[in-house]
Amino acid sequence: MCGIGAIFAYRPDAPGIDRDALMRIREAMAARGPDGAGSWLSDDGRCGLAHRRLAIIDLTEAGAQPMASADGRYHITYNGEIYNYRALRDELKNAGVAFTTDSDTEVLLALYARDGADCLARLHGIFAFAVWDAVERRLFVARDALGVKPLYYAETADGFLFASELKALVLCADVARDIDPVALADHLGFLWTAGEATMLKSVRKLRPG
């Protein structure tokens, strides 16, 4: 497993993101990724991606994240396994895409660059990921259909943030800590909360699919 996170200050009147907050999100998930840590900030300072790495497929530094596309338009932070990435890699290579790593991350990024959100229909695996598009100034976030890989998100006065673990988000001062009593009761009774609910009213789970 890896740990992923992001802050996106998308509201027009919002200041640039707090880089220290992004680092706190990342380091709160250190146990998910003991093999490396990375971060990336958009040129306008309004979107930041973070990653804690557990290296499995490509063990070299070339597979580190956040990872950029060859043209620099797209940046990805990704947690998961794409089981059919070798077949997708061969398909993309035959279409003229050049790869510089052996990672499924680079395959996923290239597939998104070609197909956009439609790439999800081609993926066999478990995943949570986000891709920043520097041209559209848009952050795309997705989770696998079974919801195996976790992803928690919150909206604040300035924008949007997410992480693989709820505890990483509560380190951000703008995220309210009011308890959701219904979700808390579900968690205590069943060790699980249904739907989008979490123990905090301000934090939701991205639903599977």
- Per-residue pLDDT of 115-126, as tens digits, reads 999 999 999 999
Rounded CA separation 151/129 (Å) = 9
pLDDT tens figures, 156-171: 988 999 999 999 999 8
Q: What is the pLDDT of residues 34-55, one digit of tens each?
A: 888 999 999 999 999 999 998 8
Measuring CA to CA, which residue among 142, 158, 147 is closest to residue 77? Answer: 142
CA 80/CA 36 separation, integer angstroms: 16
Q: Going by C-beta distance under 8 Å and a sequence separation of 6 or more, which residues neighbour residue 25?
A: 5, 7, 50, 161, 163, 168, 169, 171, 172
- DSSP tag of 44: T
2 tagged catalytic:
yes
